[in-house]
Amino acid sequence: MSDKTEQLFVLTGGPGSGKSTLIEALGRAGHATSPEAGRSIIQDQVRIGGYALPWRDPAAYAELMLGWEMRCHHWAQDASGLVFFDRGIPDIIGYLRLIGLPVPMHLQRAADLYRYNRLVFIAPPWPEIFTQDGERKQTFGEAVRTYESMVTTYTDCGYELVEIPRMPVEERARFVIGRASITAASSSYRR
pLDDT at 130: 59
Mean pLDDT of 41-46: 93
Q: Report the half-sphere exposure of 68 (CA within 13 A, side-chain side).
A: 23
Tell me how many degrees the CA angle 14-92-114 measures, rounded to the nearest 5. 120
Q: Which residue stretches of the chain are H helix?
A: 19-28, 37-48, 58-76, 89-99, 105-113, 140-156, 169-190
Where does 5-190 sit in CATH, by number? Answer: 3.40.50.300
**Which residues does residue 9 pair with via DSSP β-bridges, in sequence order?**
84
Contact 119, 12 (CB under 8 A): no
pLDDT band per the 50, 70, 90 thresholds, residue 178 = very high
Of 42-51, 86-95, 131-140, 144-153, give the lowest mean pLDDT range. Answer: 131-140
Residue 191 has pLDDT above 50, yes or no: no
Contact 121, 9 (CB under 8 A): yes
Residue whose C-alpha is closest to residue 19's, from 149, 119, 122: 122
pLDDT band per the 50, 70, 90 thresholds, residue 46 = very high
pLDDT at 39: 83
- Mean pLDDT, the chain, rounded, equals 89
For residue range 91-117, list pLDDT tens digits in order. Answer: 999 999 999 999 999 999 999 999 999
